[in-house]
């Protein structure tokens, strides 16, 4: 097995690396997806190793690792911002759109149904623009519980596998929600963390009540909050001055979110630190990206980082996974489609 890394950009489609970021290739429009596409999220699953799903502004696309082709799925909407598959069933997929909407398929994408999120509006007077789903999280402890965050729309939770939903606004100082994480302490205590444009929030009672957590940072804007996938207590939080911003920080907690420390990245950061890429096959290999395209890698669980040479202009998603040795390496010579190298 070897590792393939994927970067989703805001206006330059998807970039792939088979050598841990030393070189990158981008399938061009002949592969099935426009090179001008925006990719906001990826999802892959061990049950379907040749498939990679991408949330794009043209709908949900599937990348076939062997055919080296993109194909549009039967998802009925264009502007997709979030996608997630159940850890227990690759065919159970949720997707979130802009304007704000949540959809579910139980058959791998052949048919879709829209979830009814109470109070969710397609547009908001706060920004005089559309709402959008920013993250969908299958609760790692409770398979029937699903968390959904909406930018300028709030936090939603279902405890019955998506049949009914509740909005959880109590205590939030902003409904501009970016990300969410479920943290479980050594004693089994659950804490829910949520990121907003005005700060980090935490809940000790499954989202029934939220409390603002002031950060020791010049900025309170936070984007992604992710627990290391081996269940180790380390949590990562991306921080910056605004989107895209001019400054950013990567914050780490080793005490279940009780305190946070900055982990310096080896560059002058050009924007807000935005997103992370992790995989349970190697929880110590991590990628983190800034909004305006810088990409960093750690192989020791987040203590020491190195910067990749390539910068991407704008990054919205980072993903990596092991792929089979017989998956064709993406290159100008070996690919069945024309690729744009970098």
DSSP 131-188: -EEEEEEE-SS-TT-EEEEEETTEEEEESSTTSS-EE--TT-S-S-EEEEEEEE-TT-
Average pLDDT over residues 202-212: 98
Give the integer Cα–Cα distance in Å for 189 and 144: 19
Q: What is the CATH number of the domain that holds 249?
A: 2.130.10.10
| Residue numbers of the domain that contains 127 | 2-341
Give the integer Cα–Cα distance in Å for 168 and 149: 10
Structure tokens at 110: 């052949």
- Within 8 A by CB and 6+ apart from 147, the residues are 135, 136, 137, 139, 155, 156, 157, 180, 182, 192, 207
Q: Quote the mean pLDDT of the chain.
A: 95
Task: Give the Cβ contact number of residue 332 at 10 Å.
Answer: 10
Percent helix, strand, coil in the chain, to 5, is 0, 45, 55
pLDDT digits (tens, 9 = 90+) for 109-119: 999 999 999 99
Instruction: Give the residue among 171, 206, 177 at the shortest CA–CA distance from 194.
Output: 177
CA angle 179-70-40, nearest 5°? 15
Number of domains, the chain: 1
Q: What is the pLDDT of residue 340?
A: 60
Structure tokens at 213: 């957590």
* pLDDT > 70 fraction of the chain, expressed in percent and rounded: 96
pLDDT digits (tens, 9 = 90+) for 167-180: 999 999 999 999 99
Average pLDDT over residues 120-140: 94
Q: Do the beta carbons of residue 271 and residue 314 sit within 8 Å?
A: no
| Res. 252: pLDDT tops 80 | yes
Give pTM, 2 decimals.
0.95
| Res. 43: pLDDT tops 50 | yes
pLDDT band (50, 70, 90) for residue 1:
confident
pLDDT band (50, 70, 90) for residue 223:
very high
Q: What is the pLDDT of residue 187?
A: 87
DSSP 205-268: STTSS-EEE--SSS--EEEEEEE-TT--S-EEEEEESSSS-S-EEEEEESSTTS--EE---SS-
Q: What is the pLDDT of residue 125?
A: 86
Q: Do the beta carbons of residue 57 and residue 11 sit within 8 Å?
A: no
Query: How many residues comprise the chain?
Result: 342
Q: Do the beta carbons of residue 262 and residue 254 sit within 8 Å?
A: no
Structure tokens at 66: 């062997």
């Amino acid at each position: 097995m070897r590792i393939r890394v994927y970067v989703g950009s805001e206006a330059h489609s998807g970039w792939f690396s088979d050598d841990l970021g030393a070189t990158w290739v981008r399938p061009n429009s002949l592969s099935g997806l426009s090179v001008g596409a925006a990719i906001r999220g990826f999802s892959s699953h061990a049950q379907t190793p040749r498939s990679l799903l991408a949330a794009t502004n043209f709908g949900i696309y599937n990348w076939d690792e062997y055919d080296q082709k993109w194909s549009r799925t039967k998802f009925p909407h264009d502007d997709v911002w979030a996608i997630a598959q159940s850890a227990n069933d690759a065919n159970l997929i949720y997707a979130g759109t802009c304007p704000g909407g949540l959809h579910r398929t139980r058959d791998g994408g052949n048919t879709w149904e829209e979830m009814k999120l109470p109070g969710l509006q397609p547009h908001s007077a706060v920004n005089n623009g559309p709402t959008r789903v920013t993250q969908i999280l299958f609760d790692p402890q409770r398979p029937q519980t699903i968390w959904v965050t909406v930018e300028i729309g709030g936090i939603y939770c279902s405890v019955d596998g998506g049949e009914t939903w509740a909005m959880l606004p109590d205590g939030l100082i902003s409904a501009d929600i970016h990300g969410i994480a479920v943290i479980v302490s050594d004693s089994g205590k659950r804490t829910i963390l949520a990121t907003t444009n005005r700060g980090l929030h935490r809940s000790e009672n499954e989202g029934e009540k939220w409390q603002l957590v002031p950060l020791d940072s010049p900025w309170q804007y936070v984007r992604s909050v992710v627990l290391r996938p081996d269940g180790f207590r380390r949590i990562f939080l991306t921080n910056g001055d605004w989107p895209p911003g001019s400054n950013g920080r990567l914050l780490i907690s080793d005490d279940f979110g009780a305190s946070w420390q900055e982990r310096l990245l080896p560059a002058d950061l050009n924007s807000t630190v935005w997103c992370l890429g992790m995989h349970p096959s190697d929880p110590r290999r991590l990628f983190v990206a800034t909004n305006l395209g810088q990409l960093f890698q750690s192989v020791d669980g987040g203590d020491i980082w190195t910067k990749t040479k390539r910068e991407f202009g704008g990054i919205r998603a980072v993903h990596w996974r092991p792929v089979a040795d017989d998956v064709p390496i993406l290159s100008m010579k070996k690919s069945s489609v024309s690729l744009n190298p970098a």
